[in-house]
Amino acid sequence: MFNALTHHQSANFDEQINQLAQLISNSHHTIALTGAGISVASDIPDLEQLSGGTTGSLSSESYLEAHPDDFYRQFHQLFIDPIFNVGPTAAHKVLAQLEHHQLLDGVITTNVDYLHERAGSHNTANIWSSLNINHCVQCGRIYPLEILREPVPHCPNCGGLISPDPIFRNIATVPAERERADLWTNTADLVLVTGANGYYDHVESRSTLVDINPAQTEFDDRATLVIRATADKTFVALADKLNLPIMTVTN
């Protein structure tokens, strides 16, 4: 009985992966919309969690300026250590491979962890900004992700404190990133929604949708295909089906 049930479930999953591969092969413009669900395997929290709960002190720039040591100690634990120690997930890598093989126009993400780029994706829209944009609170210069590896990062130009751009935006979209995202959603005939927790309403109603999420989402009703599995499990199976390597794209 147990074996039969397991067999039935995995057969169903295989069939869904076949269908997903077919949809991607038949599509002219596929895009992915990703959210916190794709990065949980890297232990990175949802940006929305920062606005409340135990991480509330991370959401105020005045706290950063008053207590830089404590701010960055928490910030490293939550974001920087997982980003550098764990890195992109299998799902990030497969999405980068899909772009590299001209099977994906771009990735729109509400995540700020910059893991799509670190997996090798070029065409990304970081609509809530990313940790690759960090400004000096004194002179305003911008520095990339690497500067956040310093225990308490300071500006090489003027010595001012460095402030990570997405943390204090209060989930406001970045206009230039939003514009790029709109170009993709306007032309997409297939949208892969992966662990996403927002931005649904920007997807055109004529686009075919696939929802990849272990939990039920508000998106399921509109989806042509609902895959109730993690992003990693789904994209690893898809890579196998499409003969794509599961590795970072390097140039």
Measured from the CB atom, the residue of 90 and 147 that comes closer to Zn ion is 147
Q: Indicate the pairing of strand 142-143 with strand 30-34.
A: unpaired
- Residue numbers in the known binding site are 136, 139, 155, 158
Whether the CA torsion 159, 161, 166, 172 is positive or negative: it is negative
153: exposed, middle or buried (Cβ count in 10 Å: 0-12, 13-18, 19+) = buried
**Binding annotation for Zn(2+):** 136, 139, 155, 158
CB of 154 to Zn ion, least distance (A): 8
Closest distance to Zn ion from the beta carbon of 153 (Å):
11
- For Zn ion, give the closer residue by CB, 154 or 228: 154
Site residues (vs Zn ion, CB under 5 A) = 136, 138-139, 155, 157-158, 160
Cβ 136 to Zn ion, closest distance in Å? 3
Closest CA to 104 of 125, 88, 77: 125
**167 versus 236: smaller Cβ distance to Zn ion:** 167
> In the numeric block, which tokens belong to residue 166?
């997405």
Handedness of CA 226, 190, 177, 155 (dihedral sign): positive
**H or E stretch including 108?**
strand 106-109
Q: Name the residue nearer to Zn ion (CB basis): 107 or 131.
A: 131
Q: Least separation, in Å, of the C-beta of 163 and Zn ion?
A: 11
